[in-house]
Amino acid sequence: MTESAAMPEEDSLAKVKLVLASASPRRLALLRQIGVYPDHLHPADIDETPRRLEHPRFLARRLAKEKAERGAEKVRVLPDLENALVLAADTVVAVGRRILPKPVDEDEARECLRLLSGRTHKVYTGVCLINAKGKSHHKLVESRVRFERLGRAVIEAYLQSGEWQGKAGGYAIQGRAGCFALQISGSYSGIVGLPLAETVELLTTQNYPVFEHWQKDEV
């Protein structure tokens, strides 16, 4: 290895710390996929109820911002994290302007799947990154998914799998429900829960060493 291509020192990679304000294993897995390992996980518990007549795209953006703000409030008092970047995201599934919930039971999940069956729906994912000065930076990604027509037996089998639990719209595109999708337009990772291209853009503009970590991993 030439001197000009020498690897960054460990201290240089540790200057900027990252907190993920989410309990989602999917978002953590997506970050790890691109070599980003948050220094701290701090799930943000907020009220996710849509406001009256709120458009799904605005809901996704608002909830991502509120999660990041709540996470930032909590970690600023923790040792070594007072200057950390705080990242949060939220995903909203919608048919037209109708926002589909994270089903609380099989009946609600069944209704979601019936509504999605044989039609195209939109998935909005908002991402928010708060820097050490408390300034928030945002991205909103819109994707489209067209489902095949789902028969009654297929819906019931999916409900029995339990995969719908805790998922916006009652399904997980990265799981068994991947076979329902006839067409996807937009960000696949955004549909899963965190649009990677946009997230990397946010991180790098705040001097988080995404690509330097790649070099370190390859040693």
Q: Given its phi and psi angles, is residue 166 left (phi above 0), alpha (psi -120 to 50 degrees) or beta?
A: left
The crossing angle, in degrees rounded to 10, of helices 196-205 and 210-218 is: 100
In contact, 125 and 90? CB cutoff 8 Å: yes
Structure tokens at 54: 């709120």
Other CB atoms within 10 Å distance of the CB of residue 52: 5
The residue from 39, 80, 90, 217 that is catalytic is 90
In contact, 47 and 70? CB cutoff 8 Å: no
* Active-site residue, 90 included: yes
Q: Give the residue numbers marked as catalytic.
A: 90
